[in-house]
A and B are shown apart, each in its own frame.
Chain A
Amino acid sequence: RKEVEQDPGPFNVPEGATVAFNCTYSNSASQSFFWYRQDCRKEPKLLMSVYSSGNEDGRFTAQLNRASQYISLLIRDSKLSDSATYLCVVEKGTGRRALTFGSGTRLQVQP
């Protein structure tokens, strides 16, 4: 089993749609969770951290379920500029801030 597993892509959605990405992780000792965004041929950039209480940043909502070891990202009112690969990222549980990245889910928002 992979340490971090994500929905296989690509997701092709029209502008304005709501889209959800899911992710599961295997290490119950992990303490920190993130979503990173990676544009084609660019470096990953932090989109948002994920907290147990859930957190929202504009059109983006992230949720964490520690019991199920499940993380989600919801994007509302999709924009063309949201087209990218979304990487689910989990801290390794060593307390050293080392991260394990999922393989990513590609989103293509179409006009």
Chain B
Amino acid sequence: EAGVAQSPRYKIIEKRQSVAFWCNPISGHATLYWYQQILGQGPKLLIQFQNNGVVDDSQLPKDRFSAERLKGVDSTLKIQPAKLEDSAVYLCASSLSDTQYFGPGTRLTVL
């Protein structure tokens, strides 16, 4: 069974630039999550989708972050404009029940 796919794996940008990350969940998984993991910390939930609807985006900095899952399958997370403190690994996860399966993440460096 294919796992959660994410791209790109690495991205380096300058502050105030825009960046987008893509995630393709495990086939059949209705729930999709985006997390931000800063070095030395645990993952922090940014947004949770159930099919193509948002379930929880309470910790998403909506002034600069946006996410969509238009067809209820793959998803994109965008940051515009990026700040230095956005440097982190962005993890996508999907689930069918209680277990969340994570993708390899996108490591973002903002200079």
Interface residues of A, Cβ cutoff 8 Å to B? 4, 32, 34, 42-46, 49, 87, 89, 91-92, 94, 96-104
Contacts and interface: CB of A to CB of B under 8 A. Distances in A.
Q: Give the 7 A-B residue pairs with the shortest CB-CB distance, closest first.
A: A101-B42, A43-B102, A101-B43, A103-B42, A98-B56, A96-B55, A103-B41
B29 to A, nearest CB: 12
B45 A99 contact: yes
A44 B102 contact: yes
A32 B55 contact: no
Given A102-B42, A104-B42, A96 B104 contact: no
B40 A101 contact: no
Interface stretch (B14-22, B60-68, B71-79, B92-100): B92-100
Nearest to B95: A97
B44 A43 contact: no
B99 to A, nearest CB: 5
Nearest to B55: A96
Interface in B35-51: 35, 40-45, 48, 50
A58 to B, nearest CB: 18
A96 B45 contact: no
A77 B100 CA distance: 28
A87 B43 CA distance: 9
Contacts of A34: 98
Contacts, number: 50
Nearest to A44: B102
Contacts of A43: 91, 102-105
A34 B95 CA distance: 14
A16 B54 CA distance: 46
Contacts of B35: 101
Contacts of A42: 104
8 contacts: A43-B105, A87-B43, A96-B48, A96-B56, A97-B31, A101-B43, A103-B40, A103-B42
A39 B105 CA distance: 13
B42 A98 contact: no
Contacts of A45: 102
